[in-house]
Chain A
Amino acid sequence: MDREAILKKFEPNLSNILYIMHDLQDANPQRYLAKEDVEACADYLNVPYSYVHSVASFYTMYSLKPRGKNIIRLCESPPCHLMGSRSLLDYLKASLKVDLGGTTKDGIFTLETTSCLGTCGVAPSMMLNEEMFGNLTPEKVDSILDQRRKEI
């Protein structure tokens, strides 16, 4: 969907700013808010460009830098930490060859962390895009990511 069509889905009220930015980000193949997205949002809502950027930079669910096609969000809250999310993070960094926040060379995965996902019963857990996975082990993570690679 192009930017114009996304914007038109919403009333031009400031209260829609977060929804608009989510949709713009999702529509961007690199899963981020480009300058053009911020500008389009500012124009549509008739608010300053600097204001939209300020809002986007505050919330961690928005990215202002290009990302991979798939976003891994590993939970870093205390229950997951106790269940080994730290070593899982190290494992992911090593196997994907990226730092936290980085994108794999092939542009398929970006590695991020998140605060509590509310699924402490199956800790450690993570999200891959909109999907939640729990009871993670290095082997389980590998199979989830391999599956995703095949789907592309």
Chain B
Amino acid sequence: MIKATINNVEIEVPEGTNILWAAKKAGFTIPTLCNHPDLPPGGQCGICVVEIEGLPGLKRACMTPVGEGFKVKTHTPRVMATRRQLVELILSDHDTSCLTCVKNNNCELQQLASTVGINVLDYTGLREKLPIDHSSVAIVRDPNKCILCGRCLEVCNNVQTVHALAVNHRGSDTLISTAFDAGLGNSVCINCGQCVVHCPVGALYERSATEEVWEALHDPDKFVVVQEAPAVRVMLGEEFGMPVGSLVSGKMHAALRRIGFDAVLDTNFAADLTIMEEGTELISRLTSGKNLPLITSCSPGWIKFMETYFHDMIPHMSTAKSPQQMFGALAKTYYAKEKGIDPEKIVSVSIMPCTAKKFECQRPEMNASGYRDVDYVLTSREIGRMMREAGIDIKEMPDEHADPILGEYTGAATIFGATGGVMEAAVRSAYALVTGKELENVEIMPVRGLKGIKEAEIDIEGTKVKVAVAHSCGHARALLSKVQDQLAKDGKSEYQFIEVMACPGGCVGGGGQSWGSNMAKRARRGESLYAEDRSLPMRRSHENPEVKAVYEKFLEKPNSEKAHKLLHTHYYKRSAVDGKILPG
């Protein structure tokens, strides 16, 4: 342990603790712009400078470990003047159109300018107007707002190992962009949106579909159906000032009904359906022994990552579509038929914790119903904005249930939103499908939690199934590389079933969730999903009465020909240069 004082407050911290965190312990928050609790300190912005008695110059608190006997001062006149000047210099070349910025009121730079007391801007930089990158269907990048803090680079290159973004050019021309400035839509970007939720300013944000959805809602000829992903119901409360992780399933359904959706349905229904399809697929692969391990396919960011960097694993991928797309295919077929609505008039909207879902719904093959299966994807943030615009406060909403016949769900569906959830849900049903008996304890603890790669061995009446769960593409890369090696060496892998989610923490940590996401928040949201699971009367997907009904009335049985046509898909090889589909 190291003893030191921070503004005369004595502290004792483990060796290696940096001054930024040590100061927190002493009760002082040192302002910073580039530092993020989940990312290694980079020291780019210099805002966190402090004075240390006896040492020359100012030191960056994020990069300086506390030394024995350090006397640190965090707000001397020199420190405060330096900080103010640094912020002024950043602002001198920043597009300060705060009122019309997507991050207005949520911007770390805006807050910092207020914290350090910037009243006048003494410097005027070049403020050259650079083109905004609109090339991606999911994510917009505005270089005029970028402050070059490097958080997006860290998360894109080191956490996700996607390598879409890099620092290009030099000096005052430095730009964070894609190779040859081709734009995110012409790059290996997987649309996961981790750059978006890590950006401190308004340089990265989702491509919004709120205008289109409002238009559909006000069109009397359209029948607008909405589905909401599991992870949305544990985040939406935050948009209205509720504690992180508040579970608002019922209030969310009520709010969507009041916004004016004609039918408020639930992605969780489709999550249960996914388990029926994927569980059946798992059993058939375990029986045949072919193409093991089976790898889950719910996460569209992961799908594009796999298509780009692991396309030799395509035969191992589950062909089951994601719940969003299963829902979409059923909304314009089964639902339309049962409710007697012309599918032409149905506008299918989904609320997702995800930016990659915007890319997924526009994939050309996602038209199994004969129409675009999902018309518009809104992120959790976008629906929060729409609710505020409509004057709806989710806190004030009553608890309401989703509408039949695509609205019922079990606990197995709701845990899809947390890393390990799909695996756990699949095991709950696979056990019953194989043995004809129900798993007594449905809670499979080893696959829960935020460890990067989790493993477990499941005993299905004597058959041992080794499973692994990875979240974040960096961990997925490590796990899949291991599997590739095993397959090359022994012709088989130690694992039979693998779940991958592109985002750290799973969907609760998706790129469409609230600004300022961090692992602590992701963990709280995940816990709330497990709490909802415990509270529900049904906790196994195959118990869902509406899922049973869709098979009885429409799909016949899991993996039937009709189910294959509507609920299954195929994958492509993609280029590691521009992310485009490769021939063959």
Residues in A lying within 8 Å of B, measured CB to CB: 35, 38-39, 42, 48-54, 57-58, 60, 64
For the complex of A and B, 3 pairs with smallest distance between CB atoms: A48-B163, A53-B179, A54-B166
Given contacts A54-B166, A57-B168, 10 further A-B contacts (CB under 8 A): A35-B180, A39-B577, A48-B157, A48-B576, A49-B188, A50-B178, A54-B179, A58-B167, A58-B170, A64-B180
Residue B155 at the chain A interface, CB threshold 8 Å: no
The complex places the Cα of A39 from the Cα of B187 at a distance, in Å, of: 13
Identify 24 residue pairs between A and B in the complex whose beta-carbon atoms are under 8 Å apart, listed by A's number. Answer: A35-B180, A38-B179, A38-B180, A39-B577, A48-B166, A48-B188, A49-B163, A49-B188, A50-B163, A50-B164, A50-B178, A50-B179, A50-B187, A51-B166, A53-B179, A54-B166, A54-B168, A57-B168, A57-B169, A57-B170, A58-B169, A58-B170, A60-B170, A64-B180
Task: Report the minimum CB–CB distance from B153 to chain A (whole Å).
Answer: 10
Q: Which of B142-169 contact A (CB under 8 A)?
A: 157, 163-169
B169 touches A49 (CB 8 A): no
The complex places the Cα of A49 from the Cα of B169 at a distance, in Å, of: 15
Residues of A within 8 A of B169 (CB): 57-58
Residues of B within 8 A of A53 (CB): 166, 168, 179-180
**Interface 1/0 per residue, B179-190 and A, CB below 8 Å:** 110000001100
Q: Looking across the interface, which residue of chain A has its beta carbon closest to that of B178?
A: A50
Q: Looking across the interface, which residue of chain B has its beta carbon closest to that of A34?
A: B180
Task: Report the minimum CB–CB distance from B307 to chain A (whole Å).
Answer: 16
The complex places the Cα of A60 from the Cα of B171 at a distance, in Å, of: 11
Task: Report the minimum CB–CB distance from A66 to chain B (whole Å).
Answer: 13
A35 touches B577 (CB 8 A): yes
Residues of A within 8 A of B165 (CB): 50
Residues of B within 8 A of A42 (CB): 577
Residues of A within 8 A of B188 (CB): 48-50
The bracket for how many chain B residues form the interface is: 10 to 19
Task: Report the minimum CB–CB distance from B139 to chain A (whole Å).
Answer: 16
Residues of A within 8 A of B164 (CB): 50
Residues of A within 8 A of B167 (CB): 54, 58
A51 touches B163 (CB 8 A): yes
Residues of A within 8 A of B180 (CB): 35, 38, 53, 64
Task: Report the minimum CB–CB distance from A84 to chain B (whole Å).
Answer: 26
Task: Report the minimum CB–CB distance from B127 to chain A (whole Å).
Answer: 22
Residues of A within 8 A of B163 (CB): 48-51
Q: Looking across the interface, which residue of chain B has its beta carbon closest to that of A39?
A: B577
B576 touches A49 (CB 8 A): yes
Q: Looking across the interface, which residue of chain B has its beta carbon closest to that of A35?
A: B180
Task: Report the minimum CB–CB distance from A14 to chain B (whole Å).
Answer: 14
Indicate the member of A35, A50, A54, A57 with the most B CB atoms within 10 Å.
A50
Given A35-B180, A38-B179, A64-B180; A49-B168 close (CB under 8 Å) = no
Residues of B within 8 A of A48 (CB): 157, 163, 166, 188, 576
Task: Report the minimum CB–CB distance from B477 to chain A (whole Å).
Answer: 12
The complex places the Cα of A48 from the Cα of B166 at a distance, in Å, of: 10
The complex places the Cα of A48 from the Cα of B576 at a distance, in Å, of: 8
The complex places the Cα of A58 from the Cα of B171 at a distance, in Å, of: 9
Task: Report the minimum CB–CB distance from B95 to chain A (whole Å).
Answer: 23
Task: Report the minimum CB–CB distance from A113 to chain B (whole Å).
Answer: 14
Task: Report the minimum CB–CB distance from A112 to chain B (whole Å).
Answer: 15
B170 touches A50 (CB 8 A): no
Task: Report the minimum CB–CB distance from A25 to chain B (whole Å).
Answer: 15
Q: Looking across the interface, which residue of chain A has its beta carbon closest to that of B182?
A: A35
Residues of A within 8 A of B178 (CB): 50
The complex places the Cα of A38 from the Cα of B163 at a distance, in Å, of: 15
Indicate the member of A35, A38, A53, A57 with the most B CB atoms within 10 Å.
A57
The complex places the Cα of A57 from the Cα of B179 at a distance, in Å, of: 9
Task: Report the minimum CB–CB distance from B106 to chain A (whole Å).
Answer: 28
Indicate the member of A35, A48, A51 with the most B CB atoms within 10 Å.
A48
Residues of B within 8 A of A52 (CB): 179
Indicate the member of A35, A51, A54, A60 with the most B CB atoms within 10 Å.
A54
Task: Report the minimum CB–CB distance from A138 to chain B (whole Å).
Answer: 31
Task: Report the minimum CB–CB distance from A54 to chain B (whole Å).
Answer: 4
Residues of B within 8 A of A38 (CB): 179-180
The complex places the Cα of A57 from the Cα of B168 at a distance, in Å, of: 6
Q: Looking across the interface, which residue of chain A has its beta carbon closest to that of B576?
A: A49
Residues of B within 8 A of A54 (CB): 166-168, 179
The complex places the Cα of A35 from the Cα of B169 at a distance, in Å, of: 16
Q: Which of B384-436 contact A (CB under 8 A)?
A: none
The complex places the Cα of A7 from the Cα of B159 at a distance, in Å, of: 30
The complex places the Cα of A64 from the Cα of B165 at a distance, in Å, of: 17
Task: Report the minimum CB–CB distance from B474 to chain A (whole Å).
Answer: 13
Q: Looking across the interface, which residue of chain B has its beta carbon closest to that of A52?
A: B179
Task: Report the minimum CB–CB distance from B82 to chain A (whole Å).
Answer: 28
